[in-house]
Amino acid sequence: MKMKAVAKSKPGPGLQLIEADVPKPGPGEVLIKVKYASICGSDVHLYKWDEFAQTSLRKLPRIIGHESAGEVVELGPGVKGLKVGDYVGVETHIACGHCYQCRIGKPHVCQNLEILGFNRDGAFAEYMVIPAENAWKIPDSIPKDWVPLMEPMGNAVHTVLAGDITGKNVLVVGTGPIGAMAVAVAKAAGARRVIATDINDFRLRIAKKMGADIVLNPEIDDVRTVVMEETGGNGVDVVIEMSGNPNALNQGLSLITNGGWVGLLGIYGKNRIDVPMNDIIMKNLTLYGIVGRKMYETWAITTALLESGKIDLSPLITHRVKLEEYEEAFNVIFQGRAMKVMFEIDPS
């Protein structure tokens, strides 16, 4: 039995629509009929075939994609807790279960971590196989096309809830998809005021829809003046750094009050970071480096937040396409006209 899939079949820019065999689940695995899948920033890197992609994707061809949702259609030997027909979201980090981090309850930072769509075939396909433990059952109250966004939303949840957020003034730096989700999570978790910054006005408009009290473009607005006016001259209590921009990080650090905390999710690549360490020490700041989602505590929290009705993910899905329209999907991202692009693979 054959299926359609989008893959990285050869080195260089671009992707290919291929025909592949439907995979068979092995022991402890399940076969998922993929319903929806969304494009992540890492998929964009794979399309461009930049340095990150070349060092991260070692085996070709590879079916890419990881933010996804679908229906369990076959169980491998030994699978418990799932049944055919279950609708699931997918945890894309696959832990070894044996290293030191896995043994002490921190599999999200597993030393031998594999990532769906990189180390094994991914979700831009009609079917995929995943470990059964990576399938998270989704209640009927959550819209099915929101479920692929629960994986990146988990990053936002993990970052925003790294420290005390309730009643705090929060600055979210960078309002790409995860930054916009961080805005919504902070509001749902009881933040007093959420200020969001970005140099992309399209993204700022989405951040406003996600609940930001104030949105600012640092290339146009006087961010410092506004932040100080809104916080009584104290500065914000929390900075959520999502941009991966050194200047944005330093601006955030300059706007945080004594004793505040910073959640760091943005990736800086080869950018040189000149961090004002003396300020961090003298202001008694706490910095949290965040990667992935806690497996599976973050999934439980993310599910509860969506079930509560306090967060609406609809504004994030700006484009919907078929799998065959993958070129159009990536082009709208390259043009800066998209937030989340959703492949509707089998939406029935």
- We report the CATH number of the domain holding residue 222 as 3.40.50.720
Supply the pLDDT for residue 271: 67
Contacts of residue 278, Cβ cutoff 8 Å, sequence gap at least 6: none
Identify whether residues 112 and 128 lie together within a single domain.
yes
Q: With respect to residue 68, please indicate whether it lies within any of the assigned structural domains.
A: yes
**Pairwise CA distance, residues 148 & 89, whole Å:** 6
Identify whether residues 145 and 174 lie together within a single domain.
no
Identify whether residues 298 and 283 lie together within a single domain.
no
Q: Looking at the 3D structure of the chain, how many domains does it have?
A: 2
Q: With respect to residue 277, please indicate whether it lies within any of the assigned structural domains.
A: yes
User: Which of the listed residues 255, 272, 289 is the one where a domain comes to its end?
Assistant: 289
CATH number, domain with residue 46 = 3.90.180.10
Q: Which residue has the tokens 């290293």?
A: 99
Closest CA to 169 of 289, 286, 255, 264: 255
Identify whether residues 216 and 118 lie together within a single domain.
no
Identify whether residues 123 and 189 lie together within a single domain.
no
**Pairwise CA distance, residues 186 & 196, whole Å:** 11
Q: With respect to residue 158, please indicate whether it lies within any of the assigned structural domains.
A: no
Q: With respect to residue 274, please indicate whether it lies within any of the assigned structural domains.
A: yes
Identify whether residues 7 and 110 lie together within a single domain.
yes
Neighbours of 89 (CB within 10 A): 28
Q: Which residue has the tokens 């054959």?
A: 2
Closest CA to 56 of 109, 116, 118: 118
C-beta of residue 76 within 8 angstroms of C-beta of residue 28 = yes
Q: Which two tokens stand for residue 299?
A: 């999934």
Identify whether residues 92 and 116 lie together within a single domain.
yes
Identify whether residues 101 and 80 lie together within a single domain.
yes
Q: Could you tell me the mean pLDDT of each successive run of 10 residues in the chain, 348 residues long?
A: 96 96 98 98 95 92 98 97 98 97 96 96 98 98 98 98 97 97 98 97 97 97 97 98 91 96 89 82 95 95 97 97 97 93 94
Closest CA to 319 of 64, 39, 79: 39
Q: Which two tokens stand for residue 195?
A: 């200020």
Identify whether residues 130 and 172 lie together within a single domain.
no
Supply the pLDDT for residue 276: 86
Q: With respect to residue 185, please indicate whether it lies within any of the assigned structural domains.
A: yes
Identify whether residues 272 and 302 lie together within a single domain.
no
C-beta of residue 46 within 8 angstroms of C-beta of residue 98 = no
Backbone angles phi, psi at 4, to 5 degrees: -90, 150
Q: Which domain covers residue 124, as residue numbers?
A: 2-153+294-344
Identify whether residues 173 and 245 lie together within a single domain.
yes
Q: With respect to residue 116, please indicate whether it lies within any of the assigned structural domains.
A: yes
Identify whether residues 167 and 273 lie together within a single domain.
yes
Q: With respect to residue 205, please indicate whether it lies within any of the assigned structural domains.
A: yes
User: Which of the listed residues 289, 305, 320 is the one where a domain comes to its end?
Assistant: 289
Q: With respect to residue 323, please indicate whether it lies within any of the assigned structural domains.
A: yes
User: Which of the listed residues 289, 315, 331 is the one where a domain comes to its end?
Assistant: 289
- Cross-strand bridge partners of residue 262: 239, 287
Concatenated DSSP letters of 156-204: HHHHHTTS--TT-EEEEE--SHHHHHHHHHHHHTT-SEEEEE-S-HHHH
Supply the pLDDT for residue 309: 95
Contacts of residue 57, Cβ cutoff 8 Å, sequence gap at least 6: 8, 46, 64, 118
